[in-house]
Chain A
Amino acid sequence: MLSRAIRRSIASPLRRNAFAPAARPAFRAVTTDAASSHADREAVPKEDDKPFEIRLSDESFETYELDPPPYTLDTTKAELKKIYYDMVAVRRMEMAADRLYKEKKIRGFCHLSTGQEAVAVGIEHAIDRQDHLITAYRCHGFALMRGGTVKSIIGELLGKREGIAYGKGGSMHMFSPGFYGGNGIVGAQVPVGAGIAFANMYEGKNNVTLALYGDGASNQGQVFEAFNMAKLWNIPIIFGCENNKYGMGTAANRSSALPDYYKRGQYIPGLKINGMDVLAVMAAVKYGKEWCAAGKGPLVYEYVTYRYGGHSMSDPGTTYRTREEIQRMRSTNDPIAGLKQKLLDWGVTSEEELKSIDKEARAQVDAEVAEAEKMAPPEPTGKVLFEDIYVRGSEPDFLRGRIPEENFYYNQTDMGTGPKPVART
């Protein structure tokens, strides 16, 4: 027994917070201004595919033991319009998921990335198909950007056989070429990412791997274990914390002793990035890719971003943060609206052309969503339940059902050859 006198909390319940954190300013030097970069109207060429230079705001980055990336980015009108298209498409797809969920056609857990589009899209426009990416469960946008189709992603959410993971994983578990999921166990993907990057280095492939995780996930021990291995073995990987300020209902500064996630690699150089500005994300990742290609080892990035919706579909997301905060981010820091503004300011495109891009992206997404809704549900066969547990042809004689009569005998079933695994590039 403790010798101290009985605690007050036992005698009379008390209301107090022992660990109330000190107030911190909401934003430091890196802003989440989505429309902060500049291009001179005169410098923007007429041709869609002729490169020109964009200047990023000096509030795009903060560094840790690292020289900042160049504050300029070479791009073309065509690329900017594609980036815009992609962000609109990702958002449209998330909206479709939202609707289908509310119609009870999607069941289970569903985490949307609305508000965070600039991260998935910015990264994809900075890397190549041979590069690799792995993230947590907020993964629909990444799956799409890495080459998954809207149809297969929505099909997955609907539990359809033609879903990207045969409808077995749902929202959290999507793979596509060069994309290693979609992982439900928070933090587990980070060391896996280090292994993927190592294998690529070992095989002499000059590519980069990105391993993403949330601000909440950043406190898992395995994240730090992965940092250590990556630095020790000089692995070409960009660790990336998508800091959307909350892990479920817990604010970043209530879960993390050091909420400067870009400094958490300690012995690994870090970069904090305005994750609402797709161009800043793109510039940062291009720089990181070059850094890794030059054999300089790992980096730790922090993409400062924001999720508009709740943690998952069942969380309204309005109790642990103010409506004003959400509203402010939506109305003044939106990555899509920000880019749109710039494209108009710089004369990259016209109001009409943007409208037609919007329309095209929506039509394309909507059409694929409709196709996904029409897909057949999975066949109710044992094969569907028991495939892909072991290598085809090497399975044990049987695996058990609930009762012996339900046992599944591999040698009495045509397992087929199945589609080739796609997640290899």
Chain B
Amino acid sequence: MNTRTTATRTLSRYLLRPQISVLPQSQHQSRAKRYSSAVAGARLNGSVEYDTTPILHHTSRSTLSNPELPQDVRKGRTKRINLYTAVNEALRHALQTDERVLVFGEDIQFGGVFRCTMNLAADFGTERVFNTPLSEQGLVGFAIGAASEGMRPVAEIQFADYVFPAFDQLVNEAAKYRYRSGSTGYNCGGLVIRMPMGVVGHGALYHSQSPEALFTHIPGLRVIIPRSPVQAKGLLLSAIRSNDPVLFMEPKVLYRAAVEQVPVDAYHLPLDKAEILKTGKDITIISYGTPLYTCSAAIAAAEKDFGCSVELIDLRTIYPWDRETILESVNKTGRAIVVHESMTNAGVGAEVAATIQEKVFLRLEAPVKRVAGWATHTGLVYEKLIVPDVTRVYDAIKQTIDY
């Protein structure tokens, strides 16, 4: 295919444009105030300051100070790129260094809706980078089969909302492959399924879901959610190298918004470690993906207002997850809050909170709090209402400390 579509390209540009108001009618300001969306002059719920947030590495020095990076990479160069470019670089590196790597999915040959696969088909050929028909169940099953023959397929689901036709393949085939195959040792470990997830401003029912908890229920799968370009590149490369099937969920609102200095060379980040983003003494906040930015803003305000000290942890690998880092932290602080965008119901927060009370109950000064998405569906104009915002996290910090 030599024509490259902007259908997908502009769609992504549109989706990732910063959105001003949730309400279609901004003249109804007095009503809008009753919403928790960014209101003019709001002290806490402003828009995320991606240019200054401590979640991102704004200088090369800060990027290269990361002890998780190998020595030679830390001596190398960095480049300021956004998250979709980081994903693209990881895929490019994988295609270049391992001939077993294949990249396919709906409309990906032209770059995909979010441009993550830009130019890959042109550079590596449509034998290795190709469009599939519109059939998620089929393409995931196909990827599992190819992986079981030793390939390393990186399949894309256009939006996480469309993974459900493939749910059976993931739960019953991918997750159980190694377990079922007994002495033959067959497995589909080379498999990676990438998908954009999370709200984006106005995705409505089918472009905004975060279904990670449905997969964290399933042993045999690994579920990864990167928070930034540096993380996306290193974690995706590890996912491709991993010998377990991995679901790699990319917060789509960060594709363009999150820009940071990323090492030019390839590197791998661990798939079994949470990362402490900020140390603190009084309270631990555990989160992943987009809400980390919200948490960071809430922490800054809370530390200033209440004089407390908050530790922020990025779970990164949502399943299996790094209990040790979390338990050690809560053992130190005695207080914990879990924040995620997907709804509270049987969510990741429930698992983390239960584990904390099981393991460090006597150390707890307050109940473990969860700040998560509302347990309802995402109506067209309600997205901002539904996901955790700075105020809610700030409030949770205050309540937990005052308990």
Which A residues are closer than 8 A to B by beta carbons?
1-2, 4, 6-7, 9-10, 13-20, 105-109, 158-160, 166-170, 172-173, 184-188, 216-217, 219-222, 247-250, 254-256, 310-320, 376-378, 380, 384-386, 389, 399-403, 405-406
Extra pairs beyond A10-B97, A108-B207, A109-B204 (9, CB < 8 Å): A13-B123, A186-B162, A219-B133, A247-B134, A255-B133, A315-B6, A377-B25, A400-B372, A402-B372
Report yes or no: A312 in contact with B380, Cβ–Cβ below 8 A. no
Contact of A377 with B131 at beta-carbon distance under 8 Å, contacts A105-B24, A109-B207 already known: no
Q: Give the chain B neighbours of A312 by CB distance below 8 A.
A: 11
A16 touches B131 (CB 8 A): no
Stretch at the interface among B181-189, B226-234, B313-321, B387-395: B387-395
CB of B31 within 8 A of CB of A311, answer no
Subset of 19 A-B contacts with CB under 8 Å: A2-B150, A13-B124, A17-B125, A19-B130, A105-B24, A159-B24, A173-B205, A184-B205, A220-B165, A250-B131, A255-B131, A319-B7, A380-B35, A385-B382, A389-B377, A402-B344, A402-B374, A403-B370, A403-B395
Q: How far, in angstroms, from A7 to B124 measured CA to CA in the complex?
A: 10
A17-B2, A249-B110 known; A406-B374 Cβ under 8 A: yes
Instruction: Say if the beta carbon of B212 comes within 8 Å of chain A.
Output: no
Residues of B within 8 A of A186 (CB): 134, 162
Shortest 8 CB-CB contacts between residues of A and residues of B: A249-B5, A168-B379, A314-B14, A315-B7, A219-B133, A184-B206, A13-B123, A159-B381
* Interchain CB contact under 8 A, B165 and A389: no
Cβ contact within 8 Å between B24 and A377: yes
Given contact pairs A169-B204, A170-B204, A378 touches B11 in the complex (Cβ within 8 A): no
Contact of A377 among B28, B133, B370 (CB under 8 A): B28
Q: Chain B nearest CB: distance from A406 CB in Å?
A: 7
Q: Are B375 and A172 in contact (CB under 8 A)?
A: no
CB distance from A216 to the nearest CB of B (A): 4
A18-B126, A105-B24, A221-B165 given as contacts; is B387 within 8 A of A316 (CB)? no
- Which residues of chain A come closer than 8 Å to B252, judged between CB atoms? none
Q: A2 near B97 (CB under 8 angstroms)?
A: no
A18 touches B130 (CB 8 A): yes
Question: What's the nearest-Cβ distance from chain A to residue B181, in Å?
Answer: 20
For chain A, what secondary structure do more than half of its interface residues adopt (helix, strand, loop), or is it mixed?
Answer: loop
Taking a contact as CB atoms under 8 Å apart, the answer to whether B387 and A248 are in contact is no
B137-195 contacts to A (CB < 8 Å): 137-138, 150, 161-162, 164-165
Residues on A with C-beta less than 8 A from B4 are 319
Please judge, given known A-B contacts A2-B99, A319-B4, whether A108 and B124 are in contact too, CB under 8 Å.
Answer: no
Selected from B134, B376, B380, the residue in CB contact (under 8 A) with A219 is B134
Known: A108-B202, A249-B8, A378-B381. A400 touches B150 (CB 8 A): no
The verdict on B355 contacting chain A, using a C-beta distance below 8 Å, is no
> Is B10 within 8 A of A316, CB to CB?
yes
Q: In the complex, A353→B165 CA distance in Å?
A: 51
Nearest-neighbour CB distance to chain B for A362, whole angstroms, equals 24
Task: Indicate if the CB atoms of B24 and A107 lie closer than 8 Å.
Answer: yes
Q: A10-B96, A385-B385 are in contact. Are A248 and B8 (CB under 8 A)?
A: yes
A18, B125: Cβ atoms closer than 8 Å: yes
- Interface range for B: 35 or more
Q: How far is the CB of B203 from chain A (nearest CB, A)?
A: 7
Is B251 an interface position by the 8 A CB rule? Answer: no
CA distance A169 to B28 in the complex (A): 21
A9-B125, A221-B135 known; A402-B204 Cβ under 8 A: no
Residues from chain A with a CB closer than 8 A to the CB of B150 are 1-2
**Which residues of B350-390 have CB atoms within 8 Å of chain A's CB atoms?**
369-377, 379-382, 385-389
Q: Once the chains bind, are A315 and B395 in contact (CB under 8 Å)?
A: no
Decide yes or no: A385 and B374 within 8 Å by CB, A167-B380, A315-B7 being known contacts.
Answer: yes
B345 within 8 A of A: yes
Contacts of B371 in A (CB 8 A): 402-403
Question: Contacts A6-B99, A167-B379, A311-B7; is A15 near B207 (CB within 8 Å)?
Answer: no
Hey, which chain A residues are within 8 Å of B66, CB to CB?
Answer: none
**In the complex the two chains form, what is the Cα distance from A185 to B159 in whole Å?**
11
Contact A317 B7 (CB under 8 A): yes
Chain A residues near B204: list those with CB within 8 A. Answer: 108-109, 168-170, 172-173, 184
Residues of A within 8 A of B387 (CB): 402
Contact: B376 with A14, CB < 8 Å? no
Output the least CB separation between A102 and chain B (Å): 12
Whether the Cβ atoms of A249 and B125 lie closer than 8 Å is no
Q: A19-B126, A107-B380 are in contact. Are A248 and B7 (CB under 8 A)?
A: yes
Please give, as numbers and ranges, the residues of chain B lying within 8 Å of A314 by CB-CB distance.
10-11, 13-15
- Determine if B125 and A15 form an interchain contact, defined as CB atoms under 8 angstroms apart: yes
Interface residues of B in 1-49 (CB under 8 A from A): 1-8, 10-11, 13-15, 19, 23-25, 28, 31, 34-35
Hey, which chain A residues are within 8 Å of B106, CB to CB? 248, 250
Q: CA A172 – CA B388 in complex, angstroms?
A: 26
From A217, A385, A406, contact of B379 by CB (8 A): A385
* A residues near B6, Cβ cutoff 8 Å: 315-316, 318-319
Measured in the bound complex, the distance between the Cα atoms of B365 and A219 in whole Å is 56
